[in-house]
A = this chain, B = another copy of it.
């Protein structure tokens, strides 16, 4: 069976269509890799690509994209609303099929080493690839952004994992790492009181003492006049979607508020939803890998 890995590089270009087209062409030129999706945001001046491929091809694709970005994006001229520190800002590898997170950590290190060796871009390993706890969180790694990186790299604790304490003059610094697939999952409430969504988000998220692998904020859906708990489920195997869903239901009840629906945004692995079905149907002894027909069809 082929080991299948997803890679979601973020590039600091969301305006220049020629450069975006070049990234697309580069992604499509690598055999064994499929470009599932890409989206660009002009105000963020940033593009997010989603690729899948076998464990070897995905490394080549990631490298070639980082190379193209380093040759065509000049961070000294970059402006945008989204925090960023490099032409390729971040490049995560995600295990999809017949591969462990630990194997994706190894992939991330090999790609990181090659990027530094061939392109001279310093690399921080982050998330599950992080070499120390404070580097797990991308926000902490990126703090200071492109403009602050020359100084940050000289700080005692911030030597890059690969490369010298010196940014690439135009491509900056890149974070590379492995992480679990992320599921964007939002739960809608029958209230227009955003405070209730804020309160529920605060208690449900890991940083507020809730579920460790859930990130959550309260948002207002202006067009529908309803409040929403908007979540990133960063490890659906350790915290399934049903768990936050049921928790939001019983927490909302204290305010006399009901859950009226939910949204799964973008791509989700089949297992994230099949785990939910297993819970509600109280299925005994289900073997996802053996019993789901499609698992026998892939590669």
| Residues on A facing B (Cβ under 8 Å) | 4, 6, 34, 36, 52, 96-97, 181, 188, 241-242, 245, 259-264, 266-270, 273-274, 276-278, 280-286, 291-294, 296-299
Known: A274-B273, A278-B273, A284-B261. A96 touches B292 (CB 8 A): no
- Nearest chain B CB to A90 CB, angstrom units: 19
- Nearest chain B CB to A110 CB, angstrom units: 22
With a cutoff of 8 Å between Cβ atoms, the chain B residues found around residue A96 in the complex are 293-294, 297
A264-B281, A276-B277, A294-B294 provided; 9 other pairs, C-beta below 8 A? A6-B293, A34-B296, A97-B294, A97-B297, A241-B277, A245-B281, A260-B282, A266-B291, A276-B276
Identify the 7 closest CB pairs spanning chains A and B, nearest first: A276-B277, A273-B277, A280-B280, A277-B277, A273-B274, A267-B293, A261-B282
A-B contact pairs, 27 of them (CB 8 A): A34-B297, A36-B293, A36-B296, A52-B293, A96-B293, A97-B294, A181-B293, A188-B284, A242-B280, A259-B282, A260-B282, A261-B282, A262-B281, A262-B283, A262-B284, A263-B284, A264-B291, A267-B296, A268-B291, A269-B293, A273-B278, A273-B292, A274-B274, A274-B277, A277-B277, A294-B298, A298-B298
With a cutoff of 8 Å between Cβ atoms, the chain B residues found around residue A274 in the complex are 270, 273-274, 277
Determine the main DSSP class of A at the interface with B: mixed
Number of copies of chain A assembled together:
2
B298 touches A297 (CB 8 A): yes
With a cutoff of 8 Å between Cβ atoms, the chain B residues found around residue A266 in the complex are 291
B282 touches A262 (CB 8 A): yes
